[in-house]
Amino acid sequence: MLKESFLRYLQFEKNYSDKTIVSYGTDLSEFEAYFKAVDEALDFTAVDSDIIRGWMVSLMDEGYSASSVNRKLSALRSFYRYLLRENVVSADPIRKVQGPKKKKPLPVFVKEADMDRLLDEEPGDDFESVRNKTVIAVFYETGIREAELIGLKDGDVDLSACQIKVTGKRNKQRIIPFGEGLKERLLRYLSAREEYWHGECEAFFVRKEGKALYPSLVYLLVKRDLSKVVTLKKRSPHVLRHSFATAMLNNEAGLESVKELLGHESLTTTEVYTHTTFEELKKVYEQAHPRA
């Protein structure tokens, strides 16, 4: 009865979707089957936190992911909050139960050889081809964010000093150096831009009519170009930022330096890329070592 009244509460008072209600009902039934197997005399009002932790461990042993276990625990949390509200129980047995921690996914990145293949390919002579290839190169060779690239003004790009002034999150500014190869690309882009637009431009990177790029356009051009060299599910500007960081660390750049270039507040944020490079090393080891 408790389970049924809870599900009616979700349906009529909380307006939960039918799918969610069915899902919560299934989770509660599975939990009930578990604690009845532990002790037939138990009911929902008599279980304690140890029983819930035992169920959590059994789910992990069965191969459930941390996300799936946490979702099931979420159903229990809602259920016991309801029982407390209805004065059916005097204490919440799940209040001090912590779900399993989710593994942080490793950043997706493009290998250096694939990026070399893409950037070494000559763009077409038209303005958009030159611009698109230059955008890809700037992302990969400076590690800037999509919003930072869109926000670049002509005065932010110092070709004589080979450096870009970037305005990042919370309006924090940083200077990013770049090499002669990118300088040549930028000069070629500016020359192509002059042919199509002689007036003042809204931004450094523009469309033919001189207006600034917008996020969906940048995403599409990056996705299309990356599709030429990789089959990754993610093919976004942020993947190029990950690729920049991974390439820097693979080539022995210091973690603190990469942090400054990326504009991270904390070194902890940058450290995720060290895991990526370690995974790459592991693959190389497994492929190359005869006893791997």
Percentage of the chain exceeding pLDDT 70? 94
Residue of 85, 169, 228, 283 marked active site: 169
Query: Is residue 95 scored above 80 in pLDDT?
Result: yes
The Cα-based distances of 266 to 96, 256, 262 in angstroms read 30, 10, 11
**CB-based contact 136:222 (threshold 8 Å):** yes
Our answer to whether residue 241 is catalytic in this structure is yes
> Using 50, 70 and 90 to split pLDDT, how confident is the model at 287?
confident
State pLDDT tens for residues 174-222: 999 999 999 999 999 999 999 888 878 889 999 988 899 999 999 999 9
Per-residue model confidence (pLDDT) at position 280? 65
Query: Is residue 24 scored above 70 in pLDDT?
Result: yes
The Cα-based distances of 13 to 17, 19, 257 in angstroms read 12, 16, 54
Residue of 71, 183, 234, 238 marked active site: 238
Our answer to whether residue 145 is catalytic in this structure is yes
Per-residue model confidence (pLDDT) at position 50? 93
Query: Is residue 283 scored above 80 in pLDDT?
Result: no
Residue of 72, 241, 242, 259 marked active site: 241
Is residue 164 within a helix (H) or strand (E), and if so which, with residue range?
strand 163-167
Residue of 82, 140, 189, 273 marked active site: 273
Per-residue model confidence (pLDDT) at position 208? 86
Looking at per-residue pLDDT, the higher value among 169 and 194 belongs to 194
Is residue 167 within a helix (H) or strand (E), and if so which, with residue range?
strand 163-167
Cα distance between the two ends of the chain? 57
State pLDDT tens for residues 145-159: 999 999 999 999 999
Our answer to whether residue 8 is catalytic in this structure is no
Residue of 145, 165, 188, 234 marked active site: 145
Per-residue model confidence (pLDDT) at position 279? 66
Per-residue model confidence (pLDDT) at position 46? 95
Q: What is the mean pLDDT of residues 219-246?
A: 92
Per-residue model confidence (pLDDT) at position 250? 86
Domains of the chain: 2-85 (1.10.150.130), 112-288 (1.10.443.10)
State pLDDT tens for residues 37-70: 999 999 999 999 999 999 999 999 999 988 899 9
Our answer to whether residue 170 is catalytic in this structure is no
The mean predicted confidence, pLDDT, of the chain is 91
Residue of 81, 117, 174, 264 marked active site: 264
Per-residue model confidence (pLDDT) at position 281? 61
Q: Is the overall model pTM greater than 0.85, yes or no? A: no
Query: Is residue 289 scored above 70 in pLDDT?
Result: no
State pLDDT tens for residues 249-276: 888 888 899 999 999 988 888 888 877 7
Per-residue model confidence (pLDDT) at position 9? 95
Residue 175, classed as helix, strand or coil, is: strand
Q: What is the DSSP code (8-state) at residue 163?
A: E
